[in-house]
Structure 1
């Protein structure tokens, strides 16, 4: 095995330093005694106590995690369907238009997406005629509940629209690399196409689904621009709280919050990666055993 040249090692180390030195600095200063985030005043855990006693911060964090979970889950469902259509249905009429509309949120500026969705929700609110005096029928009440005031529902819809584009691209790429002989063999043996999809296709593309879910969760948790257009009073998310806090004057409390988020996300990613590797190894052993049985 060829050893990596010294120059390549140096560039790799510089790249890791550029990426992770700011994160390491943030974690270190979260244990700072001083209120100034750039002046070390000694080791202390008081800012973690301040963080867990801040009701506004905890409410914003809870709302962000809830929206991120829901948006990532729905984005995986919709993105999987879109990716499957793009990869398996061939060049049907409107294929290019469908592909462009599916991936448009990835390349379109978020400020444009946010403004267009804001105008959409305002138009829906006006069209439904939401009023406390005249609640209307069931459809009107449901529409007014969802779009009457901008909040969690509108943010969830906006984040799902953005995230499903990334999931669709990942699923489409994975499906194009998939060996369809496994699916064809299952259908030749009398397996229904829906059962083939859930029993064979889904497990094989599971790494892409998990990657898409994690990416969507991160994008939703991190989003500020889209949320600023779609949020209303009483629906402050974590990025909005951090941005307003930094504008007033950052404290190590923000560093403590960021450290907790980093730890949670890191643990979640490591566990997901372990589970994916274990599942992949199990599938590989099963396939090897099946091929060995056929050759005997």
Structure 2
């Protein structure tokens, strides 16, 4: 019975992996297709990679997406961390329930509703104050920060709830002021969570299509918007080449992150072994 169960679980695992990765293999394969018609194999070629790197529109869209992602990740991490500190460390205060609900709302709100509401906000601000004069970098960045900070707040809340307040209280007992405790103790302890929130916000911004399509304007196309607009007119080989580059970039990033975590885990195990040996 146990053997049949293990075979079934292995089969399900293989099916799931194939379902996820076979389409990626097909996409990577056809990125080297010489033919302009994607489904028709015309021989091995790197012509579409050359065409991709010569495309000014793709480079402009990639540059805009990266700039927005960095700005979004930085401000979302800062604001999300402050929001989490207020919810976890400040105890009960008037409006805490409403504040917590407002922080969590972007997590469950449909992206279409979020994008439409932000579009109406920017239109109203332009009529009242003349800003923004055009929708582009600033409006997309603000929109992304709006929903990304909610994810950061959830991550930091979990980190704060798990690490306790022992070190902070000890520092305060020794005479450290609250700001000093925040900078020297709280933030270093929150660093892994803040880094995870920054990376998640960066990824969410770089991947967003729905909200960005609502709050952008002419001439300000992010990479997902550009890819979607090209795919609507039919699959093109240069898009396959672009997707292949993104896949390999993400894979390299995951490998490097895994290697760093592996090194850190090994170092912790060595430190524990040395500490155990020293106590004997």
Which secondary structure state, in structure 2, belongs to the residue aligned with residue 205 of structure 1? helix
1:201 and 2:186 aligned: yes
The TM-score with structure 1 as length reference comes to 0.84
Which secondary structure state, in structure 2, belongs to the residue aligned with residue 39 of structure 1? coil
Deviations along 1:155-194, whole A, 9 cap, x unmatched? 0000111111111111111111113222222333333333
In structure 1, C-alpha distance between the alignment counterparts of 2:254 and 2:179, rounded to whole Å = 30
CA RMSD of aligned residues (A): 2.7
Q: Which structure 2 residues correspond to residues 110-125 of structure 1 after superposition, within 5 A?
A: 110-125=111-126
The TM-score with structure 2 as length reference comes to 0.88
- 168-177 or 30-39, larger mean C-alpha shift: 30-39
Q: Which residue is equivalent to 2:141?
A: 156
In structure 1, C-alpha distance between the alignment counterparts of 2:222 and 2:272, rounded to whole Å = 46
Q: Which residue is equivalent to 1:12?
A: 13
- 256-265 or 162-171, larger mean C-alpha shift: 256-265
1:248 and 2:249 aligned: no
Q: CA deviation at 1:204?
A: 2.6
Q: Which structure 2 residues correspond to residues 128-277 of structure 1 after superposition, within 5 A?
A: 128=129, 130=130, 144=131, 147-275=132-260
| Contact 1:32–1:44 under 8 Å retained in 2 | yes
Q: CA deviation at 1:281?
A: 6.7
Which secondary structure state, in structure 2, belongs to the residue aligned with residue 233 of structure 1? coil
Q: Which residue is equivalent to 1:84?
A: 85
Deviations along 1:71-108, whole A, 9 cap, x unmatched? 11111111111112222222322111111101111111
Which secondary structure state, in structure 2, belongs to the residue aligned with residue 236 of structure 1? coil
In structure 2, C-alpha distance between the alignment counterparts of 1:279 and 1:186, rounded to whole Å = 27
- The count of residues paired between Structure 1 and Structure 2 equals 278
| Contact 1:207–1:276 under 8 Å retained in 2 | no
Which secondary structure state, in structure 2, belongs to the residue aligned with residue 44 of structure 1? coil
Q: Give unpaired runs (5+ residues) of structure 1.
A: 131-143
1:250–1:97: structure 2 CA closer, same or farther, 3 Å change rule?
same
Q: CA deviation at 1:196?
A: 2.7
